A and B are shown apart, each in its own frame.
Chain A
Amino acid sequence: MAVTEPVAPAVAKPTSANDPLGIADQIKAKYPDAVDSVSAQGIVIKSDRLVDVARYLHDAPGLSYDYLNNVTSVDWPDRFEVVYHVSSISRGGAPLTLKVNAKREEPVVPSLVPVYRGADFQEREVYDMMGIRFSGHPSLRRILLWDGFEGYPLRKDYHEPYYEEEHKPFGTRWDQGHHVIAEDRNPWHDNVQYPAEFDATTYKPPRDTVRTVDVENASGTRLRTDRIVLNIGPQHPSTHGVLRLKTMIDGETLVSVEPVVGYLHRNHEKIGERNTYLQNMPYTDRLDYVTSMSNNMGYAIAVEKLMGIKVPERAEYIRVIMAELTRIISHFMALGFTYSDLGAFFTPALYGLEERELILDLFEAASGSRMMCNYMRFGGLARDVPDDFVPNCKYLVDERLPHVIDEFETYLVHNELFNARARHIGVLPRDLAINYSAAGPVLRGSGVKYDLRKADPYSIYNRFEFDIPTGTIGDVYDRFVVRIQEMRESARIIKQALEKLPAGEIMTGKKNYQVRVPKGEAYGHVENPKGELGYYVVSDGSPNPYRYHVRSPSFINLTSLNEMAVGQKVADLIAALGSLDVVMGEVDR
C-alpha cells in the first residue's frame, strides 16, 4: 500500500486506514451530528459542519488528511452535491470521498479555503460552472468564463449555442443526414448566445480589478514612487499559452500576482456529458496536449474502475511504456521552455524537442498520430505496436536518452547563469506546497516524497523498481533537477518494461463501440508529468456519463504562483511560471 516515508515523526497507523466507514465512526465520535450518511462511495457531511470536520481530518494525528485532491460538483434532479477528495501525504493510499448536499434554489456551501488553500481556484470553478456559492471564500468570482456571463454551463438545463440534442449520437446524422453547417443554425452565425434582455448599446462590462496590497515606501528615498499595475499576457512570448497575469509591482518588485485563466476554455466537461464514454477518449488527448497518452490512460483507468474490468498483461506493459515515454517528452518540453523563459531563446528547447521528435515518431507508428494519440480503450489498447517499435524504443532508452539527459544536466544545470537565476527563486515551502494542493514536480521539488505511482499504485507500477526524486527548498532549481531525475527514472522503468514485455492480446473482450458502464461513480487518478491528473466520472447506467470532471494539475498548481513570486522581481515571476510548467489546455479545459 503506502510506500512513502513520512518526513514528520512516525504516527500510529489507524486500523481502518482509508475506509470510509471507520473514518465516519471517528468523525461521529468527535462531532456527533456532523455525518449525514456513509456508504462505500463516501461520507456525506452536513454542510454547516463541513469546515469543522475538514479541520479535524486535517489535524487529527491518526488521520492527517492534509492534501485536498479534488473539489467538484454534481447536478442531481433534486439537489446539488459538492464532492471532495482528500488524501494523506504521510499515509498514502486511495483518497477519501466527502460529499455535501446543497438545495437547488440558492445553493450555498461553506468554503474550505481556510483549511485547504488549494480549494481556492476549484471552488471558484464550481461557482462558475454550477452556480453554487461558497460562503467564506476570499474572492468568489468566475474563473473560466468572463465576469458578466449569464448562466451556469454545467447545469443540466443549460443549452450551449450550438446545442443540437441532449446526448450523442445525434439522430440527424444517419439515415437522413443532410449536411448543415453549424454556424447556419445560430442566428448570430457564430458560437455565441445573448441573454434575452441584452442590449449592446447600454451594456457596461464589469470593471477589471487587481488584488492590491498596501506596501510602505520603506526605502526612504527622496523619490516619490508609486505602484503600477502591469498586465502580462494573454499574448506574451513567455506565457505558456494564453495565460494572463495581473500583477502589481512596486518598482521592479512584485507586490501581488493573480493569474487570470479561461482564454482556452472549451467546456470539455459539458462536451463530456454529451459524448458517449468511447467518444470522450479523443477529447482527453486535447486536455494537456503535450501528454496525450497519459490523459488517455487516466480516463481509461477511471472508466475501467467503474466497469470493473481488467486489462491484459501486454496492454498493461505497453501502457506503462507509453506513459513513461510521455513523461520524458513532457519534461523535455518543460526544461526547454523553462530555459526559454529565463532568456536562452530556444536553443535548449529545440535540443529537447529533437529527442521529443524521435519519441513522437514512435507514437505515430503505434497510434497513428504524434500528439492526439487516442490509443487506449476500455480494457486495453486500440491496436498493437508495430514491429520496429521495440527495437527503436530499446535503442532510445539504452543508448541515446541517457547521453542526452546527461548532456542536459551538464550544460543546463551546472552553469553559473542558471544558478544565479534559479536558486532561491520561486520558493514554495513544504507545508504550503501540500496545503496549496500542488502536485507533481512542484510538490516533489519542495521536499515532499509523494508520487501516485508509489502512494496509490495503479496499473502495474508496483512491479517496477524506481526512485522518487525530491528537492530541498522548492525553488526553480529544485524543480528543474527533479524533472531531470524523473526522466532518468522513467528511462529505467521503460527498460524494465521492455525486458518483461509479454506476448498476448491487447484488449479484454471484443471490440465494441457501445460501452456498458454500470451505475456508480469513480475517481481515477494517474501521475501525469505535470502532477495528479484525476477523472471523476459519475454514471447513471446510460451510454453517456452523467457527470465528468477532470482534476487538472496545472490549474491547481497555478494557485501557488502568488506565494512563489511575491517579493521578487518580474523576471523571477516568469522563471517561477516556467518552472510550474503549465499547459493551458489543461488549465482551462
Chain B
Amino acid sequence: MSFGLGVLRGMSITMGRVVKTYIGDLKHLGHRYDAAELKRRQSVRGSGIFTVQYPEEKLPVPENFRFVPFLVYEPVLDENGKPKIDPATGKEAIGYERCTACGICAKVCPPQCIWIVRATTPEGKPKPKAAEFYIDIDVCMNCGMCAEYCPFDAIKMDHDYELAGGERHVGHVFDVNKLLKSTTYYSSIHPTDWEHEEADRKAKEAAKAKK
C-alpha cells in the first residue's frame, strides 16, 4: 500500500459525514427545527448530524426515565368525572393522598434524602398521613428505589429534569406541597405503568367485593 493512502481513506470518511449532515437538512427545508426529523436522526436507523439543538429541540424521555420523585394524590372529581381545580393553589384539588407515611421509601433510600414526620390525631395517636415530607433533591441520587418499593404506589419518579436554581438549600429541598402531583399528571407521563396499576387495583377490589 502506498504511503498516505490510509490517511486519505480516513479523510474520505469524515468528508462523507460532513456531506450527509446537509442531506438531512434538505428534507425539511424551510423550518429550522423539525420534530420528525429529530426522531429519525436519533433513531438506530438515523444518519446525518447527531446533535440535538437544545433547548429548541428536546429529546423526549422514555417512560421509565427517572429523575426526582414526586408524591401522587387522587384529585377530587366533579359530576362529569373531570378533576376540579382548587382556586387557591391552581392545582387540581387534593382528594386522597396516597402516602401513608409508612417510611419504607425513607428506609430504602440509599443516600437517605427523604425526611418524613408522621401526622398524629388530636389524641396523639399516629395517623397514616405525612405531616412533613422533605426530599433534598441535591442529595437524591435518582436511583428510583423509593418508587420501586412503595407498597401504595404513592411515590413515583418524575420526568422533569430542568430544575436548576440559584440557591441550593432554599429551592432544592422539596416539601410535601411541592411534591404532591395529581394522578392526571402521573398517568400522562407513565401511561403503561398507570394501566397496569389500575388493572391490578380493579382486580383486587373485585376480589374483595366477591368475599
Contacts and interface: CB of A to CB of B under 8 A. Distances in A.
Interface of A: 168-170, 172-179, 181-182, 275, 278-283, 347, 351, 354, 357-358, 361, 364-369, 372, 374, 382-383, 386, 392, 395-396, 400, 407, 410-412, 414-418, 511, 513
A438 B118 CA distance: 53
A386 B110 contact: no
Contacts of B117: 175-178
B144 interface: yes
B117 to A, nearest CB: 6
Contact of B115 (A179, A275, A361, A417): A179
B110 A365 contact: no
Contacts of B115: 172-174, 177-179
21 contacts: A169-B107, A169-B109, A170-B112, A172-B115, A174-B101, A174-B115, A175-B116, A177-B106, A177-B116, A178-B117, A279-B110, A280-B110, A281-B110, A364-B61, A366-B64, A369-B142, A372-B141, A411-B9, A415-B7, A418-B6, A513-B149
Interface string B26-46: 000000000000000010110
B50 interface: yes
Contact of A407 (B4, B13, B149): B13
B66 interface: yes
A395 B66 contact: no
B108 A174 contact: no
Contacts of A172: 115
A279 B136 CA distance: 17
B170 to A, nearest CB: 11
Contacts of B142: 369, 372
Given A174-B106, A175-B103, A386 B63 contact: yes
B6 A415 contact: yes
Contacts of B112: 168-170, 173
Contacts of A374: 143-145
B64 A372 contact: no
A368 B65 contact: yes
A173 B133 CA distance: 10
B71 interface: no
Interface string B123-151: 00000000010101001011111001100
B180 interface: no
Given A175-B103, A177-B106, A374-B145, 19 more contacts: A173-B112, A173-B116, A174-B116, A175-B118, A176-B117, A177-B114, A177-B134, A178-B132, A275-B110, A279-B108, A279-B145, A280-B110, A347-B14, A361-B42, A365-B64, A368-B64, A368-B66, A372-B142, A382-B148
A395 B44 contact: yes
B68 interface: no
Contacts, number: 135
B7 A417 contact: yes
B85 interface: no
Contacts of A366: 64
B99 to A, nearest CB: 12
B6 A358 contact: no
Contacts of B17: 351
A236 B82 CA distance: 59
A368 B144 contact: yes
B6 A511 contact: no
Nearest to B66: A368
A278 B6 CA distance: 51
Nearest to A353: B50
A574 to B, nearest CB: 21
Contacts of A396: 44
B3 interface: yes
Contacts of A280: 110
A400 B43 CA distance: 11
B44 A364 contact: no
A416 B106 contact: no
Contact of B62 (A182, A357, A386): A386
B145 A181 contact: no
B157 interface: yes
Contact of B44 (A358, A410, A418): A358
Contacts of B4: 416
Contacts of A369: 65-66, 142, 144
Contacts of A364: 61-62, 64-65
Contacts of B14: 347
B6 A354 contact: no
Given A369-B65, A372-B143, A511 B149 contact: yes
